[in-house]
């Protein structure tokens, strides 16, 4: 027996244990109807999703009585200026007290071109597992972006179910633990196919996610990988393009092929560990570039079909560019802490495949992973106001020297005091360090740090670079290998 007729992937156990996040929230029926309206506003203004009423925070089923059911059904009309698009179903279940009861499931669709506001003008947004009230500035940005109807939800008149990859859809339903016979219901529930004039029609998102050949209908739906020898692209006699590969399959397949392709191009460098041993690590942390690609295919503007995603590798950096500006309320300044999807249908399915992460964890981790590799922070920009560019730098000059330094470091490592080892660790991995950086990273006092640096200079371990005794730009490096 199917637990939910709207979303066959749901089950009682899943509603109990599924983590709350961007697309799911469970609420007790004790919630006031007005507060429930806040949730409807938040989900509709973001990526849509499921609000399950009658479930406590700990997963206990307490159900929804008839009186509360009527309140929740009426909430959108009593408290919102414009009710969002949603479907509601009452699902019979056994409550945790052993009695028979019902849960109330609200399947909320993302609002493509309207802000769903309370009657007092307030609006809310689902961000990860939290519901946030929008301030005036954020609300204005969201209103501007909602003026453009979501391109991913448009129907492609000429496309049919035969244009979709049945095997890929089967893989998707298996991930959701749903029988293949329910595949159409799943695609309907995710908003990927809709009925029009008595026929099933295919959306842009469905073709991108499951199309046998997405570029047949969307020529710009591709990722182009370019590898240059050197740090700039040359032409003519100096032409230095050494690899040019285009990926143009359905998005889940393109993401997977991108991983394999990029891994094959990564060089290895050395990093000093805290035990004094230089170990091989990839050119870039794999999560950083993989998340960059996932973000590009998830959030790019697919209405700009004259352009496509580019992944360009130079000797000293990796660039990932995608068509369109950052979506809505996201800026280059708040990108670590602000989440908004231009393509919520695509984001949800790629999330089901395990690619898109909750709570903006992905972008935050790009920063932390680059830092853990002692590399410069990632740089996000909008160079021509219609492209998002991510640049990852690999610090190749300093890393190339570490092959020469590895043997000499191991010779003296065991003789160093604990603080000396920590200083050498940072200097080796950052290439060069000022006393100020070392004071901040170790938490030691300035006199202590200067004393240890002076000692290691005298021992021939470090080299001091300064034009005078009080040079404010003074820094230290490992002494060059002999």
Q: What's the CATH number where 299 sits? A: 3.30.565.60
40 occurs within a structural domain: yes
Q: Which two tokens stand for residue 378?
A: 């990632």
E strand map for 78-169:
86-94, 100-108, 124-127, 130-133, 155-156
The Cα 352–Cα 472 span in angstroms is: 53
Measured CA to CA, the distance from residue 8 to residue 4 in angstroms comes to 5
Given 201, 216, 231, the domain boundary residue is 216
pLDDT of residue 327: 83
* Last residue of one domain, picked from the residues 375, 394, 413: 394
Among residues 116, 146, 176, the one where a domain terminates is: 146
- My answer on whether 385 and 405 are in the same domain is no
Q: Are 389 and 402 in the same domain?
A: no
Note whether 298 and 345 are within 8 A (CB): no
Domain span holding position 76: 12-146
Residue 244 lies in a domain: yes
Whether residues 456 and 405 share a domain: the answer is: yes
Q: List the structure tokens of 36.
A: 């429930």
Domain count, the chain: 4
- Residue 472: give its domain's CATH number: 1.10.10.10
Please report whether residue 289 resides in a domain: yes
This prediction's pTM: 0.73
Look at the block and give the residue holding tokens 């159409």: 184
4 assigned to some structural domain? no
Alpha helices in 431-471 (DSSP H): 435-442, 446-458
Residues 389 and 457 in one domain: no
Per the domain annotation, does 137 fall within a domain? Answer: yes
302 and 362 housed in the same domain? yes
Q: What is the pLDDT of residue 184?
A: 92
Q: What is the pLDDT along the chain (482 residues), one digit of tens a residue?
A: 568 989 988 999 999 999 998 899 999 999 999 999 999 999 999 889 999 999 999 999 999 999 999 999 999 999 999 999 999 999 999 999 999 999 999 999 998 778 999 999 999 999 888 999 998 878 877 776 665 557 899 999 999 999 999 999 999 999 998 887 789 999 999 999 998 888 899 999 999 999 999 999 999 999 999 999 988 888 887 889 999 999 999 999 999 999 999 999 998 777 667 666 667 778 899 999 999 999 999 999 998 888 999 999 998 899 999 999 888 788 898 888 887 888 999 999 999 998 876 545 789 999 999 988 878 899 999 998 889 999 999 876 555 545 445 556 666 777 888 899 889 888 887 878 999 999 998 999 999 999 999 999 998 889 999 998 889 899 999 886 54
**Domain shared by 269 and 231, yes or no:** yes
| Contact predicate 132/124, CB 8 Å | yes
**Residue 66 falls inside a structural domain:** yes
Are residues 268 and 243 part of one domain? yes
Whether residues 208 and 267 fall in one domain: no
Q: Give the model's pLDDT for residue 17.
A: 92
What per-residue confidence (pLDDT) applies to 36? 98
Q: Residue 80 belongs to a domain with what CATH number?
A: 3.30.950.30
Asked, for residue 6, whether it belongs to a domain, the answer is no
Which of 27-42 are b and which e, b meaning 16 or more Cβ less than 10 Å from the residue's Cβ? bebebebeebbbbbbb
Cβ atoms 247, 225 nearer than 8 A: yes
Name the nearest CA neighbour of 172 among 210, 144, 216. 210
Unique residue bearing structure tokens 């999807």? 341
142: which DSSP letter?
A: H
**One domain for residues 26 and 78:** yes
In a domain, 1, yes or no: no
Q: What's residue 147's pLDDT?
A: 56
51 with 123, same domain: the answer is: yes
Are 280 and 406 in the same domain?
no
The answer to whether residues 336 and 319 belong to one domain is: yes
Lookup: tokens for 325: 């500006």
The DSSP symbol for 409 reads: H
Q: Are the CB atoms for 345 and 192 separated by under 8 Å?
A: yes
């Amino acid at each position: 027996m199917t637990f939910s007729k709207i979303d066959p992937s749901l089950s009682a156990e899943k509603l109990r244990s599924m983590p709350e996040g961007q697309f799911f929230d469970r609420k007790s029926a004790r919630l006031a109807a007005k507060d429930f309206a806040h949730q409807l506003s938040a989900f509709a203004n973001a990526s849509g999703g499921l609000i399950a009423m009658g479930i406590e925070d700990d997963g206990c089923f307490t159900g929804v009585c008839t009186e509360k059911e009527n309140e929740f059904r009426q909430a959108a009309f009593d408290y919102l200026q414009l009710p969002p698009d949603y479907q509601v179903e009452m699902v019979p279940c056994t409550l945790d007290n052993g009695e028979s009861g019902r849960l109330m499931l609200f399947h909320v669709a993302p609002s493509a071109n309207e802000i769903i506001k309370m009657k007092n003008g307030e609006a809310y947004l689902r961000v990860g597992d939290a519901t946030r009230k929008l301030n005036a500035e954020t609300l204005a940005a969201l209103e501007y972006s909602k003026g453009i109807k979501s391109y991913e939800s448009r129907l492609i008149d000429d496309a049919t179910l035969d244009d979709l990859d049945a095997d890929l859809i089967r893989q998707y339903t298996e991930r959701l633990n749903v029988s293949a016979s329910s595949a159409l219901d799943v695609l309907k529930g995710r908003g990927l196919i809709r009925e029009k004039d008595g026929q099933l029609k295919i959306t842009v998102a469905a073709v991108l996610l499951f199309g046998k050949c997405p570029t047949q209908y969307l020529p710009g739906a591709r990722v182009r990988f370019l590898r240059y020898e050197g740090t700039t692209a040359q032409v003519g006699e100096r032409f230095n393009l050494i690899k040019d590969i285009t990926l143009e399959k359905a998005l889940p397949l393109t993401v997977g092929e991108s991983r394999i392709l990029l891994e094959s191009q990564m060089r290895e460098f050395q990093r000093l560990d805290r035990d004094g041993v230089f170990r091989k690590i990839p050119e870039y942390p794999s999560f950083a570039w993989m998340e960059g690609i996932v973000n590009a295919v998830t959030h790019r503007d697919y209405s700009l079909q004259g352009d496509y995603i580019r992944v360009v590798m130079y000797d000293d950096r990796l660039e990932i560019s995608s068509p369109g500006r950052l979506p809505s309320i996201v800026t280059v300044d708040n990108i670590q802490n602000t989440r908004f999807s231009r393509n919520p249908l695509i984001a949800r399915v790629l999330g089901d495949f395990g690619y898109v992460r909750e709570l903006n964890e992905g972008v935050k981790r790009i920063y932390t992973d680059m830092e853990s590799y002692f590399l410069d922070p990632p740089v996000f920009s909008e160079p021509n106001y219609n492209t998002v560019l991510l640049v990852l730098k690999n610090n190749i000059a300093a890393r190339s020297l570490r092959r020469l330094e590895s043997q000499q470091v191991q010779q003296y490592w065991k003789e160093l005091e604990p603080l000396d080892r920590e200083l050498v660790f940072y200097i080796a991995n950052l290439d060069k360090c000022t006393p100020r950086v070392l004071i901040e990273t170790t938490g030691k006092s300035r006199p202590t740090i200067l004393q240890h640096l002076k000692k290691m200079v005298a021992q021939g371990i470090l080299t001091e670079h300064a034009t005078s005794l009080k040079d404010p730009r003074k820094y230290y490096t490992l002494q060059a290998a002999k």
